[in-house]
Structures are given as structure tokens and as C-alpha cells.
Amino acid sequence: MPEYSFTSKVVVYSGTSSWRFLGLPEKEASEIKAKFGKQAKGWGSLPVRVTVGQTTWKTSIFPDSRSGTYLLPLKAEVRKKERIADTATVRFKLELK
């Protein structure tokens, strides 16, 4: 399956939760939607395998109508392990499953 590499700044969810996300660039998000959008699961999500630093895990990316791209949830466990602050810019690899 296709693999992409991105750099994105951590987005802190504006609600009361502790959710953090990484946004995909709009150009690549449009390409992913065109190629894989028909495989979307609940809420338009697409299953992926992600690598940040030395940490790899399975999750999904979710379409975000406000930003016009996909958002990748960044788990607290990963943020802690990779020492990622809320103000960080993160390089990550994403493989569609």
C-alpha cells in the first residue's frame, strides 16, 4: 500500500478533551481521498499504519471539514514516548492499509 511522509504541527483539540492531532497537507489529503475515499469506514475514516520516530502503531485518519484535510489522532502514549510537546512540529510516515 502507498506510503506518505509528512511534517505537521501538533493541533490541540479545541474541546475539553486532551486530544491531539496531526493534519495532512491538503494536496496529499485530496489525493488520498480520490484514491481511497471509497474504502472509508465510519465517519469517513481510513485505516493507516503510522510511524513517528521509533514508534509505529495502527489507527485511522479522519476527514475534517473545517481544515479540508484528514486528521491523524496523536495518542498520549506516543507523545510521551517520542517527547512531543503541544507546540512541536512532527515528521511522520503514514501507510494506508
Amino acid letter at 74?
Answer: L
- Could you give the number of structural domains in the chain? 1
- Torsion of the alpha carbons at 36, 32, 52 and 21, rounded to the nearest 10: -100
SS3 at position 5: strand
pLDDT in tens, 17-71: 789 999 999 999 999 999 999 889 988 999 999 999 999 999 999 999 888 999 9
CATH code of 27's domain: 2.40.30.100
Query: pTM above the 0.85 mark?
Result: yes
Q: What range defines the domain where residue 76 resides?
A: 3-96
Exposed (0-12), middle (13-18) or buried (19+): which is 69, by Cβ within 10 Å?
buried
Instruction: Map grid coordinates 504541527 to a residue.
Output: 9
Give the three cell numbers for residue 2. Answer: 502507498
Question: What is the DSSP pairing of strand 20-23 with strand 69-73?
Answer: antiparallel
